[in-house]
């Protein structure tokens, strides 16, 4: 996982959004190989192991990842995905969930942005690509993604809502046609297989804690 992604990670627990405290145990340049993550609010602990950030336990990746399709992404499929994501270049990462992770290598030729592979199974990431394993929602802060493509295996309402929350204003979410469009998003296009929508409202983010001034005396 890339060190820059640390600032985007949040505890997936059901409480106010919270940064994670990280203890880096092993790194190679900008890539974190082994690290321990902890939530200061609820005490939940997570781990980066072999460069993969785990938010669904340390079971094998396949337990939380559907099998990717046997057929590879064709050049037409990659071009279509790039167009739907609507990102040419960005400092924020583009999320590829489940089967869409198979497009990672080819997509880099069309989208100049960091990539975040989410439950990407056995896909081997290229340089500068981060990987995380999640359960039913994304452990990402508000406006930390440029765009994201979610496959059918992950297109539940909680997952899509967390994806919409993580998108920057105007960022695109690509999802299967049968999936619900999250609140706060405007549908841009739809066909028999997928729809694409953009965020139209800003979600609330980290709650800043302020020290209250002492009560006046006398």
Domain ranges of the chain: 3-61, 75-199
Mean confidence (pLDDT) of the chain: 87
Q: What is the pLDDT of residue 201?
A: 85
Q: How far apart are CA 203 and CA 14, in angstroms?
A: 16
Sequence-distant (6+) residues with CB within 8 A of 29 are none
Q: What is the pLDDT of residue 59?
A: 44
CATH number, domain 75-199, options 3.40.50.150, 3.30.479.20, 1.10.8.50, 2.60.40.10 = 3.40.50.150
Stretch among 62-71, 132-141, 171-180 having the lowest mean pLDDT: 62-71
Alpha helix stretches (DSSP H) within 25-74: none
> What digits encode the pLDDT tens for the residues 92-130?
999 999 999 999 999 999 999 999 999 998 787 888 899
Class of residue 176 by CB neighbours under 10 A (exposed 0-12, middle 13-18, buried 19+): middle
């Amino acid at each position: 996982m890339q060190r820059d992604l640390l600032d985007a990670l949040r505890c997936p627990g059901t409480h106010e959004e919270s940064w994670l405290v990280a203890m880096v145990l092993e790194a190679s340049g900008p890539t974190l190989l082994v690290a321990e993550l902890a939530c200061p609010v609820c005490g939940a602990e997570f781990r980066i192991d072999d460069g993969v950030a785990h938010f669904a336990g340390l079971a094998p990746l396949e337990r939380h990842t559907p099998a990717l399709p046997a057929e590879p992404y064709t050049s037409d499929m990659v071009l279509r995905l790039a167009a739907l994501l609507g990102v040419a270049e960005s400092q924020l990462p583009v999320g590829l969930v489940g089967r869409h992770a198979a497009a990672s290598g080819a997509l880099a030729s069309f989208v100049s942005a960091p990539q975040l592979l989410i439950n990407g199974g056995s896909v081997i990431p290229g340089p500068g690509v981060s990987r995380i394993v999640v359960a039913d929602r994304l452990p990402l802060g508000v406006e930390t993604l440029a765009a994201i493509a979610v496959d059918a295996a992950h297109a539940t309402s909680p997952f899509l809502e967390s994806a919409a929350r993580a998108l920057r204003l105007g960022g695109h979410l690509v999802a299967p046609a049968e999936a619900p469009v999250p609140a706060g998003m405007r549908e841009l296009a739809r066909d028999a297989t997928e729809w694409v929508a953009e965020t139209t409202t800003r979600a609330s983010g980290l709650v800043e804690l302020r020290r209250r001034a002492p009560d006046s005396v006398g």
